[in-house]
Chain A
Amino acid sequence: MPGLSTMQCNMADIHSFESFAAVDGEGIRYAVFFTGCPLRCAYCHNPDTWHRSGNEMTAEEVFNKIRRYKPYFRNGGGVTFSGGEPLLNSDFINEIYPLLQSEGIGYCIDTSGSVELTDSVRHSVDNADMVILDIKFHDAGKYKKYTGGDIEKPLALGRYCTEKGRRLVLRTVIVPGINDTEEDVGEYARYVTENGLKFEKYELLAFHTMGFFKYENLSIENPLVHTPALEAKKLNELQTYLNEILKSQEG
């Protein structure tokens, strides 16, 4: 897949920047949100990144913004490329990498993994400090049903990270009524382990309703409009359960 950026000038269409993203990756992160996503997840909380914003920027322009935050990138901080799907912009990431490297700034990719494993994507992954990979479902049917994508792609990306020894963090959004039981969590654990993924952490995230207004603003139908947010208590219980299973599997 060529990605949304054109090969010639490597402009990227940027949705927004968040200068203080302290929960996606290590330390203080500067997050770059690209537009464009191959998936249409039913529980997406950023539907406003699906389509182009018209805010096209060059790698140098984005780098000039990022470098302003260098004083905050101690203790493992850096850039997080997110979106949308950042790996649709792997050419752009590959172009910005040497610039970041010259300032000693590392990056992390927050991806659905739903991209072809092209040389360009491999290159972006090779240079990343860390990859945060979304394990949306453990079952190809559900994956197709709720995201419209192919479950094999993120798996391939996860395996590539494992093979290359990249630091990998797995994530799954828990949605009430869809994947919020202990059985579900057990299946996820089995799925990632059986497929040989080597990861540092596996974090469960709570489905929330804070992005609902975006559906309204964009006049997009929100398929989960009646689904409640996942309670923090429930999330903690499931995370504890997951950690136990993973530990026992290790043992």
Chain B
Amino acid sequence: MNDNRTAWRSFNKGVWCDDINVSNFIKMNYTAYDGDSTFLEGPTARTQKEMKRVHEFLIAENEKGGVLNVDTTKVITILSHPAGYVVDKDTDIIVGLQTDEPLKRGVSPFAGIRSSVQACNAYGYEMSDKIKDEFTYRTTHNTGVFRAYTDTMKKARHAGILTGLPDAYARGRIIGDYRRIALYGMDFLIEKKKYDKDKLGEKEYLDDETIHLLEDLAKQIEFMYQLKELALLYGYDISKPATNAFEAVQWLYFGYLGAVKEQNGAANSIGRIAEFMDIYIERDLRENALTEQKAQELIDDLVIKLRLVRHLRTPEYNDLFAGDPVWVTLAVAGVTNEGKHMVSKTSYRVLNTLYNLGSSAEPNITVLWSERLPENFKKFCAKVSIDTDSIQYENDDLMRRMYGDDYAIACCVSAMKMGKQMQFFGARCNLAKILLMTLNGGKDEIAGDQIAPEGVAFGDEVLDFDKVYTEYKNYLKWLAKLYVNTMNIIHFMHDKYAYERLMMSLHDTDVERLMAFGVSGFSVAVDSLSAIKYAKVYPVRDERGLITDFEIKGSFPKYGNDDDRVDLIGKDLIEYFYRELCKTPAYRGAKHTLSILTITSNVMYGRKTGSTPDGRKAGEPFAPGANPMHGRDAEGALASLNSVAKLDYACCRDGISNTFSITPDALGKNEDDRINHLVTMLDGYFLQDAHHLNVNVLNREKLVAAMNDPTLYPSLTIRVSGYAVNFNKLTRDKQEEVIARTFHHAM
């Protein structure tokens, strides 16, 4: 690669020069920064001008009910639309929009034509006959899945035991390693894929999987060429590596843009890019080709573009994932395998966009927290949390043990190695509802249908813990098998009909696959088991003879108070379920992973679940993720954190989500105290191998006021469950649920 001499000038050489190895490039070249935030610059006049324009678009989008415009004339693909700009070609620094205008959404029916038609209709648009015709003789992912689904799968899905599955929308959660484009240029990457394909074709026997992969590679290569075309549309040639900071950021962004034009997956994360970009910025600064102000402006403008990414969604989808999220999750910091922290000035610059451009839900900035991060950076993160409620924290010391030092986060809490691992996203099953089904011998407590096989009968006497737990585990065993097979169908069809060609072209050909299962209703199930064990729980039957309510006599320990009596039930439950999942092989040799994460579907799952033995009434929301139930964490914030910290990440490798709200007064008396306390709290929590924490520092009254008058706080951002939303974009029921959550307050 002799022609890379200009692009790679003054970089330290290493194995990254001979083969794709971005991680090695970063470690050989990044500049760790231990200083504080005083070097940061505010927004330039240009940035302010562009943001003014962005605000106008955002206000117009809001006034139109959440969707500004939809291009229903054609299907959105990498090359479907002419170039579009926020202000104009000269003002935008980083260029590229999904369609020809900001916030205009494209129609992408590959995952399901029916849901695309519904999504258009929901916002008052009609899909063009042209698109409908094009898809008349074309199978979408959704159609494929429903062809293969068994009756039991359909029933389990309908009853709400397995829900939110990506069978009618694109799966997402795949992160292309967009940095590769900047470092190597497209030509080299294409050459490499062609080589891989040729090599693969030389195998003695081309089995199903090999042929599958050969076709995958052909699709990838086709779309890599299209990506080059996309860049040319904006006047850039990305065949060759980036030669300066601007090009590095722009090249990388073109990759991401191509991906979100081609795919409308549930989460389109951008990966771990800050420290990579920093290497180019540092070189330009050394060469006097850039000033700090210009460096910040570059990052600001990238973030502006990331904030404008939109997909067209159905109302059902919004019910699962409220607030119109894209999950442009951007991971910063962390530590190398050798123990050196990876905080760079650009880690700061990314956080600084929340000041320069105002707080925002996107990108979903995720700090990879380690005890070893410099104190200055920890404090700056805490300050940003307190000021903006826009960032989340995940335990790098924990994840690094399993994912090394070049992983990123997809969506909320899903770790994967950049360019080396991909994920088959699997939504979640309902642990609380399956408990009710256990008590009703396999029947749905709401509709009354027989969903699961018949089990032992429970009489009217007080529920016996051992009997309930043994039976519950039998049903979980049944569910685990059903769940894996359902996922196998979904991802077989997604690969077949809606394969992520561009994103996968930015992965190694020999990619490792993870299959991410999930649970909801965790705290409800755990408290219910605790109630049955420690209090006296009597079943109450309705006229159909189904157990639909419970009479609880006596008290019982509740999850969220650092009480082993109940916390260990939860730990055992999740470990058992994970072991059961692993017993059924996953599609394409994927490794099973599990998350305790609900996103905002905890409200919907609650709606579909009858009264539970913990005293929760039918229809009431669950707590989000691994959170204790609202108001039951009586011993304060840290007791609640300690309970969650007991859950074993080794069996929940797809993440254990915890969302935490505290009032400013409770966190400390003044800003310094609040910052120091938050840092100490994060260190203490993660030291116990806890995985994730969303932090909100605000008063409940502010949310109530915003709910009643959305004009009061138009840009109020709040962390909900692994991601942040603009509070005003939530529906009333979800706003109420967020308000009902525990706010740790001063005594």
A contact residues vs B (CB 8 Å cutoff):
16-23, 27-28, 30-31, 65, 68-69, 71-75, 77
Q: Could you say which of B58-66, B218-226, B682-690 contacts chain A?
A: B682-690
User: In the complex, which of the residues A21, A68, A74 contacts B747, with contact meaning CB atoms closer than 8 Å?
Assistant: A21
Contact B744 A20 (CB under 8 A): yes
Interface 1/0s, chain B 110-145, versus A by CB < 8 A? 000000000000000000000000000000000000
Closest partner residue, chain B, to A208 (CB atom) = B746
How many pairs of residues, A versus B, come closer than 8 Å at their CB atoms? Answer: 69
B638 A19 Cβ-Cβ under 8 A: yes
Encode B665-691 as 1/0 by CB contact (under 8 A) with A. 111110001001100110111011000
Whether B636 sits at the interface, judged by CB under 8 Å, is yes
Smallest CB separation, B558 vs chain A (Å): 14
Q: Are B636 and A72 in contact (CB-based, < 8 A)?
A: no
Contact B637 A20 (CB under 8 A): yes
CB of B191 closer than 8 Å to a CB of A: no
Assess whether B636 is in contact with A20, with CB atoms less than 8 Å apart.
Answer: yes
In the complex, which of the residues B636, B642, B684, B685 contacts A21, with contact meaning CB atoms closer than 8 Å? B636
| A70 CB to nearest chain B CB (Å) | 8
Report the Cα distance A231→B677, complex, angstroms. Answer: 26
CA A28 to CA B680, docked complex, whole Å: 8
Across the interface, do A17 and B681 meet the contact criterion of CB distance under 8 Å? no
CB atoms of A72 and B634 under 8 A apart: no
9 example contacts (A-B, Cβ-Cβ < 8 A) are as follows A16-B635, A17-B635, A19-B635, A19-B640, A27-B680, A69-B638, A72-B683, A74-B680, A75-B676
- The answer to whether the Cβ of B639 comes within 8 Å of any Cβ in the partner chain is yes
Complex contacts, A19 vs chain B, CB 8 Å = 562, 635-640, 642
Q: Are B642 and A68 in contact (CB under 8 A)?
A: yes
A130 to chain B, nearest CB (A): 15
Q: Is chain B's interface secondary structure helix, strand, loop, or mixed overall?
A: helix
Report the separation of the CA atoms of residues A65 and B640 in the bound assembly, to the nearest whole angstrom: 13
- Select from chain A the residue with minimum beta-carbon distance to B673: A22
Q: How far is the CA of A71 from the CA of B683 in the complex (A)?
A: 8
- Interface size class of chain B, counting residues whose CB lies under 8 Å from the partner chain: 20 to 34
Residues of chain B with a CB closer than 8 A to A72's CB: 638, 680-681, 683-685
Taking beta carbons and an 8 Å cutoff, which residues of B are in contact with A?
Answer: 562, 634-640, 642, 662, 665-669, 673, 676-677, 680-681, 683-685, 687-688, 744, 746-747
* Chain A residues in 8 Å Cβ range of B634: 16
Instruction: Name the 6 nearest CB pairs between A and B, nearest first.
Output: A72-B684, A19-B638, A20-B637, A71-B684, A19-B636, A19-B639
Instruction: List residues of chain A with CB within 8 A of the CB of B747.
Output: 18, 21, 31
Q: Is the CB of A20 within 8 A of B666?
A: yes
- In the bound complex, CA of A75 to CA of B683 (Å): 11
The complex places the Cα of A30 from the Cα of B562 at a distance, in Å, of 13
- Give the complex CA separation of A77 and B676 in angstroms: 11
In the bound complex, what is the Cα–Cα distance between A77 and B744 (angstroms)? 18
Q: How far is the CA of A20 from the CA of B680 in the complex (A)?
A: 11
Which residues of chain B come closer than 8 Å to A23, judged between CB atoms?
665-666, 668-669, 746
Instruction: For residue B667, give the distance in angstroms from its CB to the closest CB of chain A.
Output: 6
Closest to B645 in A: A71
Shortest Cβ distance from residue B218 to the other chain A in the assembled complex, whole angstroms:
52
Complex CA distance for A22 and B386, rounded to whole angstroms: 15
Bound-state Cα–Cα, A199 to B729, Å: 51
Within the complex, what minimum Cβ distance (angstroms) separates A119 from chain B? 31
A17 to B639, Cβ gap below 8 A?
Answer: yes
> In the complex, which of the residues B562, B640, B677 has the most CB atoms of chain A within 10 Å of its own CB atom?
B677
Q: Which of B635, B665, B669, B680 contacts A77 (CB 8 A)?
A: B680
| Chain A hits for B677, CB < 8 A | 22, 27-28
CA separation between A27 and B675, bound complex, in Å? 11
Chain B residues, CB < 8 A from A73: 684
Give every chain A residue within 8 A of B667 (Cβ-Cβ): 22
Report chain A residues within 8 Å CB of B688. 71
- Give the CA-CA distance A19 to B643 in the complex, in Å: 12
CA distance A27 to B676 in the complex (A): 8
Cβ-closest chain B residue relative to A71? B684
* Contact between chains at A28 and B666 (CB < 8 Å): no
Given contacts A20-B744, A22-B668, A23-B669, contact A71 B635 (CB under 8 A): no
Contact A28 B635 (CB under 8 A): no
Instruction: Pick the contact of B636: A18, A71, A74, A75 (CB < 8 A).
Output: A18
- CA of A178 to CA of B666, assembled, Å: 27
- Compute how far the CA of A100 lies from the CA of B411 in the bound complex, rounded to whole angstroms: 42
Q: Are A74 and B683 in contact, with the CB atoms below 8 A? A: yes
A20 pairs with B683, CB closer than 8 A: no
Tell me whether A74 and B666 are in contact (CB under 8 A): no
Residues of chain A with a CB closer than 8 A to B642's CB: 19, 68-69
Known: A19-B638, A30-B638, A71-B685. 18 other contacts (CB 8 A): A18-B635, A20-B638, A21-B747, A22-B666, A22-B668, A22-B673, A22-B677, A23-B666, A23-B668, A23-B669, A23-B746, A28-B677, A28-B680, A28-B684, A69-B638, A69-B642, A72-B680, A75-B676
